[in-house]
Chains A and B, each alone.
Chain A
């Protein structure tokens, strides 16, 4: 018996990842909220807890997250929370909140519009404010350091990076929410110039606007709301040092810890959606998660095909849940990441009834 109450995802919704969406994050969240409520036939008043993940620096306005609450419907007031993190961490908080046992239904969202600003100038602000942020040390550059560390350690080749990109962008051809989808050869990718060597531009995610949302419920209530609940069997998140000089960039100890926490290999794994924002990250994650070669990774195309920052991780959860609901998988792994070079990692095991 688990120490935790059973909690399931009962409905999911996501917007396409787009280069530029011309209206507000709140308006995206409003559409997603309405979709989730319509699918479960729940009145808004039946949602006990709402929580969003977003980033004010992306929107460029202090307290932007407050206006996002509009998207959930400003009335009636409920327990409300926010994380300045990907929506996957909002899911974690909501899961913890439902464990308290006094409420049954929670609505979780992640949203981000990267189009107004310059992500490479914004994201250095997550790094150490004395030693790194003043250097403008951006995630692309750090991914370049991670990539070279993998090459030097003999753990990957540039061809391996390109193979991740080619496979992801080809997989995205069947994903209607993908922003970048194409059939491209490894050779063609390797012929491109370096951007942050040994990375090329295609090793980076696109810049996207978008949002995602899920509705979760405690056991009995979940079964009332859907005949296909997707159970959150385990969820855990861990973090590595924010000082890059103290990390071995070829490995992800925090992913290994979280993997033990959720018991990744306690059962067969039919699908894994990994938050691979830079192609080398897939190499690091596959090793840290000890995935078998035949485990399907990112059949959606993953973040390399669409990266609505602050929703990207929650989209991984949704992609796995949707595959389970569609009957294509029984047990799957969703991964979310935050910070440069996979600094923080969240894992979630989802399972059919």
Chain B
């Protein structure tokens, strides 16, 4: 049987940060086309800090406009930018001391090529046409290549700044998890029996975490698709970033017959909340082979992907709580 495709997923954290009186003033300045430093004793720090870096004492919001010219203190030409860099074509990162400041800004320099840059060389502030009240509103260019800009001031102060962290990952399914996923496609639950304790883990992580032994394909066992509800929760969805649910739903842990570890996070939509209970005997109703997908099975928590149409009661008597107490969490 051929390999399943690699996992590919995106992890996102949409940050909205309050800026406070110092960073906020600086970012407001950038939005309005001005570069601000802050007085710190006899020095001017740019970008401005909320504290004296030597003593940690709070700094009064005493701002000074610096630049627009500046001097390159160091630079590096980035031949292959990442997706997160300010420019998608080669550019420079540089330490730039703006005229009138005593510290350096680390920022991007857009230039025709590395030949246009030298340490001690002159650069000038440039602003994006669309500014968002973020550090990315700004960039620099060599003085000879800088464009004259008119930057219309915006309204109000920048009190929030947004940063979407979005990272992509790709990795193959671990060998044991791939066998589990292929089992799901074939309508079977494949667990692993610990050679040390005899306990059956489902889905297995490829090792027994209690006895600390690795498990191999020889330890694979097929587990029944009937089991007992050992725990559940009714979730009322909160409309956070990325939420797709709108109505309350049940997530249940189901201890399959022959397994020692419940299958977690099972989606229950067809059994009414009022009738759902621990101890309930259920059976998996599989989707047709053509409809089954394991794209959501990952290397961590596992999951059962989209292979199960629904869980339905078997009609057997409930299992007494005492018999499932160990799994009731």
Residues of A within 8 A of B (CB): 20, 22-24, 26-27, 30-31, 33-34, 44, 57, 60-61, 64, 67, 70, 73-75, 115-118, 120-122, 124-125, 129-138, 141-142, 144-149, 152, 193-199, 241, 243-246, 249
Contacts and interface: CB of A to CB of B under 8 A. Distances in A.
A136 B84 contact: yes
A26 B205 contact: yes
A245 B105 contact: yes
Given A31-B214, A74-B209, A121-B82, 9 more contacts: A30-B207, A70-B207, A73-B212, A118-B167, A134-B135, A145-B76, A196-B78, A245-B46, A246-B53
Interface string B47-61: 101000100000000
B77 A197 contact: yes
A135 B82 CA distance: 10
Nearest to B15: A129
Interface in B6-35: 9, 11, 15, 17, 19, 23, 27
Given A118-B167, A118-B168, A135-B136, A244 B106 contact: yes
Interface stretch (B169-177, B266-274, B285-293): B169-177
B135 A130 contact: yes
18 contacts: A22-B172, A26-B209, A34-B212, A73-B211, A118-B168, A129-B17, A131-B135, A132-B106, A134-B163, A135-B93, A137-B93, A141-B76, A144-B93, A152-B119, A194-B114, A197-B77, A245-B105, A246-B45
Contacts of B77: 144, 194, 196-197
B83 interface: yes
Interface residues of B, number: 62
A29 B249 CA distance: 37
B86 interface: yes
Contact of A245 (B82, B106, B119): B106
B1 interface: no
Nearest to A69: B209
A339 to B, nearest CB: 14
B161 A148 contact: no
B144 interface: no
A193 B77 CA distance: 12
B135 A23 contact: no
Given A196-B76, A241-B53, A136 B207 contact: no
A134 B300 CA distance: 29
B41 to A, nearest CB: 14
B116 interface: no
B95 interface: yes
B86 A136 contact: yes
Nearest to B76: A144
Given A23-B174, A245-B95, A152 B74 contact: yes
Nearest 5 pairs between A and B by C-beta? A144-B76, A136-B84, A245-B104, A70-B209, A60-B169
Contacts of A117: 167-169
Interface string B119-130: 100000000000
B210 A74 contact: yes
B47 A245 contact: yes
B170 A148 contact: no
B131 interface: no
Interface in B56-84: 73-80, 82-84
B299 interface: yes
B172 A145 contact: no
Contacts of A130: 17, 19, 23, 27, 135, 161
A60 B207 contact: no
A148 B84 CA distance: 23
A142 B104 CA distance: 14
B103 interface: yes
Nearest to B176: A23
B84 A22 contact: no
B71 to A, nearest CB: 12
A55 to B, nearest CB: 12
A134 B174 contact: no
Interface string B187-230: 00000000000000000011101111010000000000000000
Given A24-B206, A73-B212, A245-B95, A199 B165 contact: no
Contacts of A118: 82, 167-168
Contacts of A70: 205, 207, 209
A319 B108 CA distance: 39
B106 A121 contact: no
A57 B167 contact: yes
B185 interface: no
Contacts of A138: 82, 84
Given A134-B134, A135-B85, A141-B76, A24 B107 contact: no
B94 interface: yes
Given A70-B209, A134-B134, A135-B85, A22 B174 contact: yes
B234 to A, nearest CB: 23
Interface string B289-325: 0000000000110000000000000000000000000
Contacts of A125: 165
B246 to A, nearest CB: 24
Contacts of A67: 205, 300
Contacts of A132: 106, 135
B128 to A, nearest CB: 12
B79 A194 contact: yes
A115 B175 contact: no
A280 to B, nearest CB: 11
A244 B136 contact: no
